[in-house]
Amino acid sequence: GDSVTQMEGPVTLSEEAFLTINCTYTATGYPSLFWYVQYPGEGLQLLLKATKADDKGSNKGFEATYRKETTSFHLEKGSVQVSDSAVYFCALDTNAGKSTFGDGTTLTVKP
Amino acid sequence: EAQVTQNPRYLITVTGKKLTVTCSQNMNHEYMSWYRQDPGLGLRQIYYSMNVEVTDKGDVPEGYKVSRKEKRNFPLILESPSPNQTSLYFCASSLVGPQETQYFGPGTRLLVL
């Protein structure tokens, strides 16, 4: 079946550091790929998405590129802020209705 | 305001006492889904619904039931809760399917004693 493997956390960075959270996937067909973010005490919200190979999703300074050849969708940000502290989930979805999430990576940014 | 609402937000119950967690969306979305979130296990899909009267199992459906009699509502039913169903539950909806952006409710924290 489909699966998503995320970089293990937690990740702790200083403010303005570069962030990478790795995500690789296995899936049949051509899934859409997502990054969701969960702030403390809240539900998940979409951060960015990509629907086909070589697409780049971007939002709030975060970026991720859909790499079919390496089955990856790594999340990057050039300069993190304290307000970026949250749990980040990589996910894939297919037209079949099932949705698969990674285990989540907790990011803490220190001033 | 476009939103997904869940009730209750917090619930403590005892083993075997039937309970229902409600989920409602006001965005006229066709797709709705239930997830549970457990430490170290991420989000796992319990059930999903592509449209009214159409439901299907996710990865962890055992011990749960759902129904979709109206487009806006998708209740999650635990007929005989057990302690291993203690978890944080999220309902989500999207326009036509999970390949579109899913909008999540605020979560329901359930403790089964």
Residue B100's pLDDT is 82
**Alpha-carbon span A33 to B100, nearest angstrom:** 10
Mean pLDDT over B74-92 rounds to 97
Cβ contact, residue pair B42, A103, below 8 Å: yes
B106 has a pLDDT exceeding 70: yes
Cβ contact, residue pair A97, B56, below 8 Å: yes
Residue of A21, A23, A44, A48 best to disrupt the B interface, most CBs of B under 10 A: A44
B41 vs B5, residue with greater confidence: B5
DSSP-derived pairing of the beta strands B10-13 and B108-112: parallel
Mean pLDDT over B20-40 rounds to 95
B24 has a pLDDT exceeding 80: yes
A100 contacts in B (CB within 8 Å)? 45, 59
Distance of CA B45 to the CA centre of its chain: 9
In chain B, pLDDT over 70 holds for what percent of residues? Answer: 100
Instruction: Identify which of A34, A49, A101 has the shortest CB distance to residue B42.
Output: A101
Q: Please give the backbone phi and psi of residue B35, each rounded to the nearest 5 degrees, phi first.
A: -130, 155
Residue A94's pLDDT is 74
Contact B23, B5 (CB under 8 A): yes
Which residues of chain A fall short of a pLDDT of 70?
95
Output the six-digit token pair for B106: 């605020």
Residue of A99, A100, A106 best to disrupt the B interface, most CBs of B under 10 A: A99
Residue of B5, B43, B44, B45 best to disrupt the A interface, most CBs of A under 10 A: B43
Residue B51's pLDDT is 93
**Which residues lie closer than 8 Å to A84 by C-beta, 6 or more apart?**
A19, A77, A107, A109
DSSP type of residue B73: B
Residue A95's pLDDT is 65
- What is the number of CB-based contacts under 8 A between chain A and chain B? 68
Report the chain B residue with the minimal C-alpha distance to residue A87: B42
